[in-house]
């Protein structure tokens, strides 16, 4: 499969649909132009979060009352096999003209036989109720130089939504299915020699499927704030199965000078891996987290403070190892206006506990082996302090430093290769071409900064960077880069022409791998995965109110870098296509 990172740009914002009329204000945080469709609720896609710009929580006057939230479709027009950031989806159309549409269809084609198609539908059933649907497909036939086995991939989603918005409450029910096809094509050919008989005729493919549904409810009055319920059934081509259930009701109580909030969470996951060819046994994991997070908030004209904590009980079993612990963590944060509406100082101490799931690991790295050890991760605390504000009316910034400690932090590590004489009796993910998960207690120091420049509504520049220093209790950290840099430029040349540029840099990472010991034998040891830079460019033309033509080039440096150990990426990718917008009703 090309790489797990590449799909995120096509799915950065998968789905948002609405029955409301669109506004003419353009989103200022996208890197292309968009036809914006306002929605009541949106489907949240799972995508790679390699280095998402951090949005520091701010407690302000807006916390006193429930706000009307508008969601938008940002249809991404290009099937990119590189997208290291879970960022804003690229715009595909301008919204500066007066004609707006609820529905759209999009089709694009590029080299490497890359195909992308999307269809988004939103219809109003009554004044308060809407229905919506979204179909998305992206695929590539591969063609990376030097790869011994198939490296094609595909990913398809189909989602349905029905919802209602009233003055006192709103709700949304969604249901969907998805399928992903990948190949474990990352054989360590730089150090190991594979005879054709060892891989010819073998199917190195993996297929992931899921069925999911969710329900969200928000109340605008009373103590019950709302909540969410989610369920996902996930399975693969190797008979792995996982059920994940999450319920999260919320309550708040308004006092004279403060607001008391109570969040309740029940998170249950049950996973079973079948590895009969190797061991003849099943690998089973289950974990239940039950927790509450009470807090009280004090809000004034120039400051706001939240004081709270979390209590959670973790119970379950992973491969016969019992999990049973009680966790206490802080939920404290505050901000202060140093200069009203210009400079804000903020700080906090937060923590939490969450389940690691097979589905989530696949979302980050689709080349994992179907025999993972699953444990809950505990974030004991995350202390942070920062400042954000404006240097000028059109220049904003955010700087932050943080220190975090996590128990059972999950990290991907390359799996060892079985001996050559046993390859044909092994699974296809045992060629040194898959990843397992290792856990450790990890301390992380993070320094982060971003700068946003808006020269006009038509030109924006976003710069961000971060540095991480890791310390693991039992050894090295794996696949966690120290440095990440991002630069984005968006330009609307005219009412019809628009474009954008993205550049990314990811620093070196540690992993386990093989080196030649000088005698011809392979020695397994800690290795470095090289840093890389990537440049992406897009351009679009709004031919009419209904038709938009676009093109995008990815990996314009044409580097054959590794997204993961041994997984080289496609070279320069170019995709062109068109989007058509329409309404069923006049």
What is the per-residue pLDDT for 318?
Answer: 87
Separation of alpha carbons 213 and 121, rounded Å: 18
Give yes or no for residue 37 having a pLDDT over 60. Answer: no
Distance, in Å, from the CA atom of 361 to the CA atom of 324, rounded to the nearest integer, reads 23
Give, for 359, the enclosing helix (H) or strand (E).
helix 358-364
Query: Does position 28 have pLDDT exceeding 50, yes or no?
Result: no
Which residues does residue 470 pair with via DSSP β-bridges, in sequence order? 444
pLDDT for 518 beyond 90: no
- What pLDDT, on a 0 to 100 scale, did the predictor assign at position 281? 61
Tens digit of each residue's pLDDT (9 = 90 or more) over 175-189: 999 999 999 999 999
* Token couple for 443: 């301390």
Residue 120 three-state SS: strand
pLDDT (tens digit per residue) in 133-184: 999 999 999 999 999 999 999 999 999 999 999 988 999 999 999 999 999 9
- Cα radius of gyration (the chain): 24
Which pLDDT value is given to residue 517? 76
Stretch among 298-312, 446-460, 506-520 having the lowest mean pLDDT: 506-520
Reported confidence tier of residue 568, pLDDT bands at 50, 70, 90? very high
Mean pLDDT value of segment 286-312:
96
Total residue length of the chain? 586
Count CB-CB contacts under 10 A for residue 505.
17
Residue 569 token pair: 């990426």
Phi, psi of 375 (to 5 degrees): -130, 155
Does this model's pTM top 0.85? My answer is no
User: Bigger pLDDT: 245 or 322?
Assistant: 245
Euclidean distance between CA atoms 256 and 247, whole angstroms? 30
Average pLDDT, the chain: 84
Residue range 240-256: mean pLDDT, rounded: 94
Quickly count: other Cβ atoms within 10 Å of residue 355's Cβ. 22
Residue 199 has φ and ψ, to the nearest 5°, of -135, -25
CATH 2.40.170.20 fits domain 5-582: yes
Q: What is the pLDDT of residues 115-136, one digit of tens each?
A: 999 999 999 988 899 999 999 9
pLDDT average, residue stretch 523-540:
95
For the cut 90, the answer to whether the pLDDT of residue 94 exceeds it is no
pLDDT band at residue 220 under the 50/70/90 scheme: confident
Rounded to 5 degrees, φ, ψ at 425 are: -100, 5
Residue-wise pLDDT for 507-517, tens only, equals 999 999 999 87
Judge whether residue 586 has pLDDT over 80.
no
> Residues 332, 350: contact at Cβ < 8 Å?
yes
Q: For residues 212 and 228, is the Cβ–Cβ distance under 8 A?
A: no
Look at residue 279 in the predicted model and tell me its pLDDT: 53
State how far the alpha carbon of 189 is from the alpha carbons of 87, 193, 483, in Å: 33, 6, 28
Q: What is the pLDDT of residue 250?
A: 96
**pLDDT value at position 277?**
45
- Examine the pLDDT at 434 and tell me if it is beyond 50: yes
Give the pLDDT score at 2: 38
Spell out the residues 6+ positions from residue 224 whose beta carbon is closer than 8 angstroms to its own.
249, 250, 251
Mean pLDDT of 84-104: 50
Q: Which of 194-208, 227-241, 420-434, 509-523 has the lowest mean pLDDT?
A: 509-523
DSSP string computed for 161-225: EEEEE-SSEEEEEEEEEEEEEEE-----TTT----HHHHTT---EEEEEEEEEEEEEEESSSSEE
CA angle 86, 88, 91 (to 5 degrees): 140
Q: Which are the contacts of 17, defined by CB distance < 8 A and separation ≥ 6?
A: 37, 39, 42, 71, 73, 102, 120, 121, 122, 130, 132, 133, 134, 161
Residue 275 has a pLDDT of 65
Q: Output the six-digit token pair for 56.
A: 């520091």
Residue 491, pLDDT score = 96
**133 token code pair:** 């649907």
Q: Which run of H or of E encompasses 9?
A: helix 8-11
């Amino acid at each position: 499969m090309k790489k797990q990172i590449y799909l995120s740009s096509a799915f950065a914002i998968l789905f948002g649909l609405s029955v409301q009329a669109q506004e003419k204000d353009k989103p200022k945080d996208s890197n292309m132009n968009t036809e914006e469709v306002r929605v009541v609720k949106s489907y949240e896609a799972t995508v790679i979060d390699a280095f998402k710009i951090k949005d520091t929580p701010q407690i302000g006057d807006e916390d006193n009352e429930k706000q009307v939230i508008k969601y938008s479709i940002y249809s991404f027009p290009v099937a990119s096999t590189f997208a290291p950031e879970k960022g804003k989806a690229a715009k595909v159309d301008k919204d500066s003209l007066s004609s707006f549409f609820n529905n759209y269809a999009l089709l694009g084609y590029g080299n490497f036989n890359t195909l992308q198609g999307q269809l988004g539908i939103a219809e109003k059933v009554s004044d308060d109720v809407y229905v919506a649907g979204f179909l998305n497909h992206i695929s590539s036939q591969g063609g990376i130089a030097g790869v011994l086995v198939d490296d094609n991939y595909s990913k398809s989603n189909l989602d349905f939504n029905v919802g209602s918005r009233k003055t006192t409450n709103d709700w949304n029910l969604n249901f969907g299915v998805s399928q992903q096809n990948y190949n474990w094509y990352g054989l360590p050919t730089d150090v190991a020699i594979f005879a054709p008989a060892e891989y010819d005729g073998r199917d190195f493919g993996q297929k992931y499927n899921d069925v999911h549904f969710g329900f969200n409810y928000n109340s605008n009055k009373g103590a019950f704030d709302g909540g969410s319920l989610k369920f996902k059934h996930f399975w693969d081509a190797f008979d792995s199965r996982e059920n994940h259930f999450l319920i999260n009701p919320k309550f708040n109580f308004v006092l004279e000078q403060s607001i008391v909030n109570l969040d309740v969470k029940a998170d249950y996951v049950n996973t079973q891996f079948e590895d009969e060819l190797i061991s003849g046994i099943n690998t089973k994991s289950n974990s239940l987290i039950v927790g509450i997070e009470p807090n009280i908030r004090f809000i004034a004209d120039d400051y706001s403070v939240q004081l709270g904590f979390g209590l959670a009980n973790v119970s379950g079993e992973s491969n016969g190892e019992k999990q049973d612990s009680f966790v206490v963590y802080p939920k404290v944060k505050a901000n202060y206006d140093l200069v009203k509406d210009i400079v804000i100082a903020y700080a906090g101490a937060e923590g939490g506990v969450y389940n690691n799931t097979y589905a989530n690991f696949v979302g980050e790295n689709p080349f994992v082996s179907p025999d993972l050890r699953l444990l809950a991760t505990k974030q004991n605390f995350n202390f942070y302090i920062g400042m954000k504000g404006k240097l000028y009316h059109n220049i904003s910034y955010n700087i932050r430093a943080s220190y975090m400690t996590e128990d059972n932090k999950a990290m991907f590590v390359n799996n060892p290769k079985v001996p050559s004489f046993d390859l044909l009796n092994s699974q296809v993910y045992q060629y040194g071409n898959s990843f397992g998960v290792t856990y450790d207690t990890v301390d992380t120091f993070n320094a982060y900064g971003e700068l946003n420049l808006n020269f006009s509504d038509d030109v924006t520049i976003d710069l961000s960077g971060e540095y991480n220093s890791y310390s693991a209790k039992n050894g090295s950290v794996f696949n966690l880069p120290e440095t990440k840099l991002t630069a984005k430029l968006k330009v609307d040349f005219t009412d019809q022409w628009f474009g954008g540029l993205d550049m990314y840099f990811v620093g070196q990472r540690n992993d386990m791998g093989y080196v030649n010991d000088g005698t011809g034998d392979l020695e397994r040891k800690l290795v470095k995965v090289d840093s890389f830079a990537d440049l992406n460019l897009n351009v679009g033309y709004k031919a009419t109110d209904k038709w938009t033509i676009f093109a995008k080039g990815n990996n314009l440096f044409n580097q054959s870098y590794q997204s993961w150990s041994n997984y080289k990426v496609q070279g320069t990718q170019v995709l062109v296509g068109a989007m058509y917008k329409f309404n069923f009703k006049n």
